[in-house]
């Protein structure tokens, strides 16, 4: 075939081949795009799953912390229910007017051992300055060495001071009292801290409770009065 008779057969075949190549390239690009989108979607899903897993871990940790805290509180409550409880206060005497007492009492269910009590500032008494007190209370064995043991319900009362004189003096009226002791198994009990303010008794009056000692005094007074009356009566005639 001469050149003028028409295109070569190779040219005829080349056009569809090129077209097919373009189509294949487009399809390949689309496939790659789809795969990229799928990979991106999978990556996003994986990220969301990872975030959800992190949230679950954080939630689980919070729940664990709450459970551990609750367990700790329950253990503390059970422990405290089995521990001694030493109360220290300064109170007016129920039997002697105008007298203040230091009251130490174990209100807990178990024995308290090695009880150490500290007053801040250190105890000072009006009785120590006017010569009425026989001992310096702050130097007593109890405050220097502690109490070896206090069973449940044990109550100790110490003469602190004369109330009306103390309240009208320049001596401290506020105290911080710390109490340490050992409980069951010689395990240290949590330190107790008490705030005592004697000013709550200023401008008040207390009534003493009548007891057997008051009754004896009254009988002695009646006896003395009867003796006086008997002396005034005329004696028997001879």
pLDDT at site 107: 96
Beta bridge partners of 100: 92, 161
Share of the chain above pLDDT 90, in %: 36
CA distance linking residue 228 with residue 221, whole number of Å: 11
pLDDT in tens, 142-194: 999 999 999 999 999 999 998 888 888 899 999 999 999 999 999 999 999 99
pLDDT of residue 122: 93
CB 86 within 8 A of CB 106: yes
Q: What share of the chain is helix, strand, coil (3-state, %, to 5)?
A: 50, 20, 25
The ranges assigned to domains in the chain are: 7-81, 86-209
CA angle 206, 99, 93 (to 5 degrees): 60
pLDDT, residue 1, reads 47
Q: What is the pTM of this model?
A: 0.59
> Which distant-in-sequence residues (6+ apart) come within 8 Å of 160 by Cβ?
90, 100, 101, 102, 123, 125, 137, 166
Residues 181/115, Cβ–Cβ less than 8 Å: yes
**Tokens found for residue 210:** 């009548």
Local confidence pLDDT in tens for the 238 residues of the chain: 445 555 566 666 766 777 777 778 787 787 878 887 787 878 888 888 888 888 888 888 888 888 888 887 777 677 777 899 999 999 999 888 889 999 999 999 999 999 999 999 999 888 877 656 577 888 899 999 999 999 999 999 999 998 888 888 899 999 999 999 999 999 999 999 999 999 998 877 665 555 666 666 777 777 777 776 766 666 555 5
């Amino acid at each position: 075939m001469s050149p003028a008779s028409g295109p070569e057969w190779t040219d005829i075949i080349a056009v569809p081949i090129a077209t097919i190549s373009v189509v294949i390239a487009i399809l390949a690009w689309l496939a790659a795009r789809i795969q990229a989108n799928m990979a991106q979607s999978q990556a996003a899903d994986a990220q969301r799953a990872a975030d959800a897993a992190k949230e679950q871990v954080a939630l689980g940790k919070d729940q664990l912390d709450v459970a551990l805290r609750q367990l700790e509180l329950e253990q503390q409550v059970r422990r405290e229910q089995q521990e001694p409880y030493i109360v220290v206060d300064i109170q007016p005497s129920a039997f002697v007017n105008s007298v203040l007492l230091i009251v130490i009492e174990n209100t807990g269910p178990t024995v308290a051992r090695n009880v150490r009590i500290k007053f801040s500032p250190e105890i000072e008494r009006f009785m120590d300055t006017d010569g009425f007190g026989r001992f310096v209370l702050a130097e007593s064995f109890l405050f220097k060495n502690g109490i070896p043991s206090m069973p449940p319900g044990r109550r100790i009362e110490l003469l602190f001071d004369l109330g009306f004189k103390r309240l009208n003096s320049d001596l401290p009226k506020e105290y911080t009292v710390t109490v340490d002791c050992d409980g069951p198994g010689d395990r240290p009990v949590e330190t107790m801290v008490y705030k005592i303010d004697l000013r709550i008794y200023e401008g008040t009056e207390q009534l003493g409770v009548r007891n057997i000692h008051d009754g004896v005094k009254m009988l002695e007074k009646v006896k003395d009065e009867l003796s006086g009356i008997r002396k005034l009566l005329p004696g028997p005639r001879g």
